[in-house]
Structure 1
Amino acid sequence: MSDESPLIRSLRAAVSAAPEDVPLRLHFAELLLAEGRHDEAVAQAAVALQHAPGDEAVRDLMVRAMQLPTAGPPAPAATPSPGTTPPAAPAAAPAPATDGTRPPGFDWDAAEQEVADVVGPRFATDASDRTEAPLTADGSGDPGDAAAWDIDAPGDIRLADVGGMQEVKDRLEAAFLAPMRNPELRKLYGKSLRGGLLLYGPPGCGKTFIARAVAGELGAGFMSVSLSDILDMYIGTSERNVHHIFEAARRQAPCVVFLDELDALGAKRSRSHHSGLRNVVNQLLTELDGINASRNEGVFVLAATNVPWDVDLALRRPGRLDRTLLVLPPDAPAREAILRYHLRERPIESVDLGRIVKVTEDFSGADLAHVCETAAEYALLDSARTGTVRMIGTKDLLNAAKQIKPSSESWFASARNVAMFANDGGTYDDLVAYLKKKRKL
């Protein structure tokens, strides 16, 4: 922060340069605690506990930073490093706020100013802060302009960042990425770029993350589109929104247009009682038919849905979203990678990830995140009750996994009927093969 002491600034830089130096981090946390910065001290203590889970001094600091009552006599404070000034005694813990205001002990206004360049203001304070101009009374305002749509810059996410799921990566490489990367070979073999790719599978299995990874592989911008971005109460505005979305992608090509929840955007027109939704599908068909046009060079269309059987058949016709890819619950390597990711900043001790991976088969990525969150709640509640901070262990994660049922089970129950009775043309052959492998068919 701008008003922090030179010593705090120096120690902050030193900790960043040597993240595994526990004594240094402990000394830094003690100084933060002495200045009443309890939240920052807790964050530093949590990182130190990951590197030294059995260190009593770190545990004691965590208790004091969290302002928990201690179960016995307090452990001695950490010994200051040679040549430095011993920290002052910690200030008395401020009483918690009971009137709905921000708790004392942390300068929230200064923190917001420090990260303003990164996250920007939470609310627009004047007209210049607003990213969209207001609609006029008839709905014909500026949001229809192609320049008003936000496109994320090419990200650093690659397919290598997707844990496991090798079959999905191989299919993406063969059906989509290799032709995109090799225009000369594509021309030699007469491989057309016409059409898009439809990702389908149970919810929470990473379809959006895979789409972002594809954009990263192509070095393309990324534009995520959902029904709320398109549908409008005024006649003709929804169709114009669809057109301007694709126009924005063409202007900033290369760009991946990601149509999220395609079953909502492109539901079967025969079942739709809303003329606006039918018109949206018609406009989508018009835009997709132009994917092979020269003016659309560098615009790549990906879509995702949990229920591909509810998508209008015209959208699945060759030249449109004619390639499908089944994205299943993460396999064992992917589950381990997801668990590591969600436990990376939590205080853990002797966690046997192999056991957790075995008992979480068919769990989606969202389910695994919920397992880690629930296990953290168990440890937090025990710490609050006993006044002694303890680490998250294997038992917490196993208990959490027992309490959570895979969210993919209901999806597979519906998909089984489709695979058995509605697999016309072999559209869902991948799904049939998976269900047979799992003996669910």
Structure 2
Amino acid sequence: MTDRGSLDALREAVRVSPDNLPLRRHLAEQFLDAGLLMDAENAFREALALAPGDADLATGLAEAFLRQGKNGAAISALARVGPGEGPPKAGLVVARALAAEGDVAAARPRYWEAVARDSSLADAEFETRLGLPPGHSLGPEPAMAHALEDVPSLPSGPFTGPGSGAEKGSSTVTFADVAGMEQVKQSLRMKLLLPVQQPELFAAYGKRAGGGVMLYGPPGCGKTHLARAAAGELGAAFMSVGLSDILDMYIGSSERNLHSTFEAARRNRPCVLFFDEVDALAARRADMNRAHNRQIVNQFLAEMDGVEGGANEGVLVLAATNAPWYVDAAFRRPGRFDQLVFVPPPDAPARAAILALLCREVPLDELDFRAVSEATDGFAGADLKGVVDRAVEAKLQAAIRVGRPLPLSTADLLGAARAARPTAVAEWMGTARNYVMHANESGVWDELLPWFGGKRR
């Protein structure tokens, strides 16, 4: 493991030579090896800004996402690295992310494709999770043939041309499917939903339907789920935009992709336009060393303002980030992302409600969700899903042995919870504390003060 002194020396070297790609790559890899996942994520992003088409860097970024529980972001980061392309590890990262999202059928061929290219990536425990029997045998050449025949491409949206990976459709999820977080839901209703649902009332006060809200908080706490639920509440179109839909290696293409995305949202209004990991597209311009990257931020700001009066009316822009302190302050001006909404880790009642939702379609014994919620302090929603998945897999194996369904019990969930080791929330809180306590002169992070023993001003 790299010691802190070596990492600090590498940081300084990158600061002195910001355009040195091999140096940035090495720093990002060292952060990843040291388990400094948020630092690794930011370092890989900065390196990708210098080389957007680098599959090795994209794989490193995806692994940083995966290890933080940001499975959707990991899949999105590798959306342009198809089966058999890039490093073999890319296939393994995609497979793990797909399995964590519950799509085991799509994960299997991606896993086999990776192992066929590099047998050292084989993982017996993961194979069991994929439903592969112990002692199975599939030689390298048949494995590759099987993988390349059956591997599905990662999903892309209905758009054509650059940025065509944006996901578009209508959401069937509503706030009823979001456990807890009543204050967050109310903020979204007032800022985004009610102006569309009651336009005459809001017009009387000079308010139009549109604008932006930035959701921020620890990874895995439901920011993307909330965005889908907001679209479902309205019955509006939902467009989810990832980094791979916008960033392009050719100068000017990223800006055109961003403009095309907003134009598509304007044609489909009312529409919820959701930018995940927005800090990668809206980073502070003062931190950027390349004019091209600053121009992407300028284009984003122009699109948020609308090219002409009322252009964005009916376009509800939602963004999510784990690192709001890296977002350019210009995005917080009125009419842009002028409302920051903290999506906290779930408290005990919310954890119990999340567990109940996750277990809706599972055969159940008398379950004490409250006891399980008390045993999962510090778990994010994604961590709780992992607990339920682990418990279900163990119970399914027992059911196969006896030949009949067996109900899930409190003991099953408690056993799975004891085996889980969540870290994302604790790591995020440690980073957030530094900003709240030492870089909060404007008061923008006052909402977080109660989480660290302070009082809101």
Work out the CA distance in 1 between the residues paired with 2:167 and 2:383.
Answer: 29
Deviations 1:176-211 (A, max 9, x none): 322332222212223355631100011011111111
Asked if the contact 1:291/1:297 (under 8 Å) is kept, the reply is no
**Paired letter, 2:305:** D
239-248 vs 366-375, greater mean Cα deviation: 366-375
Distance in 1, matches of 2:446 and 2:233, equals 27
- Structure showing greater relative contact order (alpha-carbon pairs closer than 8 Å, 6 or more residues apart): 1
Partner deviation per Cα, 1:71-99 (whole Å, 9 max, x = no partner): xxxxxxxxxxxxxxxxxxxxxxxxx9744
Structure 2 counterpart of 1:395, one-letter code: A
Could you say which residue in structure 1 is the equivalent of 2:365?
A: 349
Which amino acid counterpart does residue 409 of structure 1 have in structure 2? A
2:449 paired residue number: 432
Q: Which of 421, 425, 432 matches 1:408?
A: 425
- Of 315, 340, 346 in structure 2, the residue corresponding to residue 324 of structure 1 is 340
Q: Is the 8 A contact 1:204 1:366 kept in 2?
A: yes
The one-letter code sitting in structure 1 at the alignment partner of 2:283 is A
Range with bigger deviation, 182-191 or 251-260:
182-191
SS of residue paired to 2:311: helix
Question: Partner residue of 2:218?
Answer: 202
Structure 1: tracts of 5 or more residues without a match: 1-95, 102-111, 113-120, 134-141
Match of 1:258, SS state, is: strand
- CA distance, structure 2, for counterparts of residue 225 and residue 354 of structure 1: 36
Once the two structures are TM-superposed, the CA of residue 414 in structure 1 deviates from its matched residue by 0.9
What's the TM-score once normalised by structure 2's chain length? Answer: 0.61
Partner of residue 260 from structure 1, selected from 276, 282, 301: 276
> Partners of 1:292 and 1:171 in 2: how far apart?
27
Q: Which amino acid is 2:327 matched to? A: V
The aligned counterpart of 2:13 is: none
- Counterpart residue identity of residue 365, structure 2: E
1:183 matches 2:224: no
Amino acid at match of 1:421: H
1:384/1:284 CA distance change after superposition, 3 Å: same
Whichever residue aligns with residue 165 of structure 1, its letter is M
Distance 1:288 1:100, change over 3 A: same
The match for 1:213 is 229
Alpha-carbon deviation of 1:250?
A: 1.0
Output the CA distance in 2 between the equivalents of 1:313 and 1:408.
25
| Residue type of the alignment partner of 2:272 | V
> Residues 165 and 331 of structure 1 are in contact (CA less than 8 Å); yes or no, is this contact kept in structure 2?
no
Q: Which has the higher helix share?
A: 2
1:163, CA displacement in angstroms?
Answer: 1.4
CA separation in 2, counterparts of 1:381 and 1:321?
Answer: 48
Give the AA of the match of 1:187. Answer: A
Q: Which whole-Å CA distance do the structure 2 matches of 1:149 and 1:251 have between them?
A: 18
| Identical pairs, percent | 47
* Cα distance, 1:181–1:346 mapped onto 2, change above 3 Å: closer
Give the match for residue 326 of structure 2. 310
Distance 1:308 1:265 in 2: 12
- What's the offset of the Cα at 1:353? 1.5
Q: SS where residue 152 of structure 1 aligns?
A: strand
Cα distance, 1:284 vs structure 2: 0.2
Q: CA contact under 8 A between 1:223 and 1:257: conserved in structure 2?
A: yes
Which of the numbers 245, 249, 255 marks the counterpart of 2:265? 249
Over residues 23-56 of structure 1, what are the superposed CA-to-partner deviations in whole Å (9 max), with x where a residue is unaligned?
xxxxxxxxxxxxxxxxxxxxxxxxxxxxxxxxxx
Cα displacement string for residues 343-373 of structure 1 (whole angstroms, at most 9, x for unaligned residues) = 3344443332221012223311100011112
Verify: 1:298 aligned to 2:318, yes or no. Answer: no
Shift of 1:303: 0.5
Secondary structure, aligned partner of 1:294: coil
Tell me the matched-pair count.
Answer: 313
1:91-240 superposed matches below 5 A: 98-99=137-138, 122=152, 143-144=161-162, 152-191=168-207, 193=209, 195-240=211-256
**Secondary structure, aligned partner of 1:338:** helix
In the TM superposition, what is the alpha-carbon distance from 1:273 to its structure 2 partner? Answer: 3.2
Alignment check: 8 A CA contact 1:194 1:320 kept: no
Residue type of the partner of 1:307? A
Q: Which runs of 5+ in 2 are unaligned?
A: 1-134, 141-149
| Pair 1:267–1:326, CA change in 2 (3 A) | same
C-alpha distance in 2 between matches for 1:131 and 1:215: 17
Distance 1:380 1:155, change over 3 A: closer
Which residue of structure 1 aligns with residue 25 of structure 2? none
Deviation, structure 1 residue 288: 0.7
**Structure 2 residue aligned with 1:395:** 411
Q: CA RMSD in A?
A: 3.5
Larger Rg: 1
> Is the alpha carbon distance of 1:191 and 1:298 closer, same or farther for their aligned partners in structure 2, counting shifts above 3 Å?
closer
Report SS of the residue matched to 2:204.
helix
